[in-house]
Amino acid sequence: MEDLILQPVIQYGFLGFSIVLLCIIVWLIRRLLAVLDATNRVIDTNTDAIRDLNSTTATLINMTSDLLKLNRSLHDKIISRPCIAG
């Protein structure tokens, strides 16, 4: 059994198989890094969209608040006027 393991054909076979596995691992790591880079770009884009939406929502809330104040002011002015129909 020891003679079989020490034969150069078997040793070179293990060496070649190890090199192939190492190349596969390096290729997979490069693919993983590309996927992580794409994922980070998507996360950045989504974060920017959420920030834009948040600022738009704040603007709409301010506009709604101003319109509500104007509506209340007009309501008070209309109620304070006397009715001419009677």
Q: Write out pLDDT tens, residues 24-48.
A: 999 999 999 999 999 999 999 999 9
pLDDT-based confidence at 16, cuts 50/70/90? Answer: very high
Q: Residue 81 has what DSSP assignment?
A: S
pLDDT at residue 86, rounded to an integer: 62
Element (H, E) at 32: helix 8-80
Ramachandran assignment for 8, one of left (phi > 0), alpha (psi -120 to 50 degrees), beta (any other): alpha
Tokens of 80: 């304070």
Q: What is the value of pTM for the model shown?
A: 0.56
Residue labelled with tokens 């209340």: 72
